[in-house]
Amino acid sequence: MSADSSLPNSSLPAPRFQLTPQEWRAKLDPEEYAVLREAATERPFVGEYTDTKTPGVYTCKACDAELFRSTEKFDSHCGWPSFFDPANSDAVILKPDDSMGMRRVEVVCANCHSHLGHVFEGEGYATPTDQRYCINSIALKHAPESSDSK
């Protein structure tokens, strides 16, 4: 995994897209704000994209940056959308998360530093990376592939 647990959070590059907390609250509804800006987690099996199979691109709900593609989405049956790789290696930042009494790796949008979910590895899924990017549906927008882009 590419997260360097020796780096303090302050060493993250500055987000390219920045708003004040008041601007974020005006842009996002309260549930979106809780997940994207305060690192909350939506309940499992309730998200809009948990079972979506429609081809397309998943972007950040906060800033519209491309994060994942449907070609990397897989059925993990964990209750949240799962991807085995981001669309671009620079699309997300992985950072240590020691909350909840355990060591995890948080996934944040590289463009705006919004919380997306967590990445896990070594769970035995038959994917090319053996990683599961477990992402909150509420943190994403899905743009279906148009018929003229095929």
10 lies in a domain?
no
| DSSP output for 100-114 | GGS-EEEEEETTT--
Q: Indicate whether 128 belongs to any domain.
A: yes
3-state secondary structure of 134: strand
Among residues 101, 95, 102, the alpha carbon closest in space to that of 117 is found at 95
Task: Establish if 63 belongs to a structural domain.
Answer: yes
Tell me the average pLDDT across 28-43. 96
- pTM across the whole model: 0.87
Tell me, what's the pLDDT at 23? 97
pLDDT given for residue 148 in this prediction: 54
Q: How far apart are alpha carbons 18 and 118 in whole angstroms?
A: 22
CA distance 19 to 27: 10
> Model confidence over 85-99: pLDDT tens digits?
998 889 999 999 998
- Catalytic residue IDs: 134
What's the domain count of the chain? Answer: 1
Task: State what percent of residues in the chain have pLDDT above 70.
Answer: 91
The residue range of the domain holding 111 is: 16-149
Kindly report the CATH number assigned to the domain that includes residue 113: 2.170.150.20
Inside any domain, residue 11: no
Does residue 83 sit in helix, strand or coil? strand
Residue 88: per-residue pLDDT? 87
